[in-house]
Chains A and B, each alone.
Chain A
Amino acid sequence: MSAGKMLKQNQGVTSSPKSRLLGFATLLGLVTLFVFAFFLTDPDVRLHPTTGEEIGQFDAVRLLYLHVPMAIIGPYLAPLVGAVASIGYLIKRTPWWDVTAHAAIEVGAIFCGLVLVQGSIWGRPVWNTWWEWGDVRIMTTLILFLMLLGYLALRRVVADEHKQARRSAIVALVAAINLPIINRSVEWWESRTLHQKSTLSELKIEDLTFFTLMMGIVVFLMLFTWLVLHRFRLGWLEKESLKQEALTAIEERRAVAVTNEEETS
Chain B
Amino acid sequence: MKQFMHDLLLVAKKDLRIEIRSRVIINQVVPFALLVLVLFGFALDADQKTLRAFSPGLFWIAVLLSLLLAIQRSVSLETANDSLTGLKLAGLSPVAIFFGKSVAIFTQLVFLEIFLTGGIIIFYGSVIEDPTLWVVAGLITALAVSVTGTLYGALASGLEVRETLLPILLLPVLAPVLIGATKAYSGALGETVSNGWQWTGLLSLFALIAATLGSLAYGVLVEE
Contacts and interface: CB of A to CB of B under 8 A. Distances in A.
B45 interface: no
A177 B202 contact: no
Given A158-B160, A181-B205, A185-B202, A143 B179 contact: no
A215 to B, nearest CB: 34
9 contacts: A147-B172, A149-B168, A154-B156, A157-B161, A159-B158, A167-B221, A181-B206, A188-B183, A188-B202
Nearest to B198: A188
A185 B198 CA distance: 11
Interface string B145-171: 000000100011011110001001101
A163 B169 CA distance: 16
A143 B175 contact: yes
Interface residues of A, number: 30
A94 interface: no
A150 B19 CA distance: 29
A90 interface: yes
Report whether over half of chain B's contact residues are helix, strand or loop; otherwise say mixed: helix
A184 B158 CA distance: 34
Interface string B187-224: 00000000000110010011001000100010011001
Contacts of A189: 179, 183
Given A90-B220, A157-B161, A185 B180 contact: yes
Contacts of B86: none
Interface residues of B, number: 29
Which one of A143, A171, A175, A178 has the highest number of Cβ atoms from chain B below 10 Å of its Cβ?
A: A178
Interface in A128-169: 143, 146-147, 149-150, 153-154, 157-160, 162-163, 166-167
Report whether over half of chain A's contact residues are helix, strand or loop; otherwise say mixed: helix
Contacts, number: 77
Nearest 3 A/B pairs, CB to CB: A185-B176, A146-B172, A150-B169
A167 B155 contact: yes
A159 B165 CA distance: 13
A159 B159 contact: yes
B173 interface: yes
A198 to B, nearest CB: 25
B209 A177 contact: yes
A153 B165 contact: yes
A182 to B, nearest CB: 5
Interface in B121-163: 151, 155-156, 158-161
B209 A181 contact: yes
Nearest to B159: A157
Nearest to B175: A143
Interface string A36-67: 00000000000000000000000000000000
A186 interface: yes
B167 to A, nearest CB: 9
